[in-house]
Amino acid sequence: MYARRPEERPLDLMGPVFVQIFGQTESPMTGTVLRAEEHMVDGPLAHLLTSCGRARSGVQVRILDDKDEPVAAGTTGEICIRGGSVMPGYWERPEANAETLRGGWLHTGDHRDDGRARLRLHPRPHPATWSSPEA
């Protein structure tokens, strides 16, 4: 028997019972989903295990470059979300709204590079926006 990767161990113990989601406060954890039946260690779905899934119903996801243009499949770009769950804006923060919600998309600051319509996250190139008055 070979040693499992850390992300596989819980599945060995409990089976495919997990549901994984991606989002942020500005889009209350509703951007993408990796369903329980997609959490597989072996077989045709195994490549999904380290992803955060695909766009959930009612949400559009695009991967955009630094000019807000869609990137080619397999190219790293920013994850942008649009849908009814996205916030209307930060309270009294027009500059942050202009940056974060430009072009009608929520610019998450998170990046990905998977070409199979599944998201794989990369470190953010800039810090997150804070909406606290102390920020």
The pLDDT tens digits of the residues spanning 10-32 come to 777 877 778 888 888 898 878 88
CA distances 13 to 6, 7, 86, Å, are 12, 11, 36
The pLDDT tens digits of the residues spanning 68-117 come to 999 888 788 888 999 999 999 999 999 999 999 999 999 998 877 655 55
Query: How far is the C-alpha of 29 from the C-alpha of 37, rounded, in Å?
Result: 20
Residue 53 in contact with residue 21, Cβ under 8 Å? Answer: yes
SS3 83: strand
Q: Domains, the chain, ranges and CATH?
A: 6-122 (2.30.38.10)
Query: How far is the C-alpha of 29 from the C-alpha of 52, rounded, in Å?
Result: 11
CB atoms within 10 A of CB 129: 18
CA distances 65 to 2, 80, 113, Å, are 40, 10, 11
Q: pTM for this one?
A: 0.75
Q: Tokens for 123?
A: 């470190």
The per-residue pLDDT for 122 is 57
Query: How far is the C-alpha of 77 from the C-alpha of 74, rounded, in Å?
Result: 9
DSSP 96: H
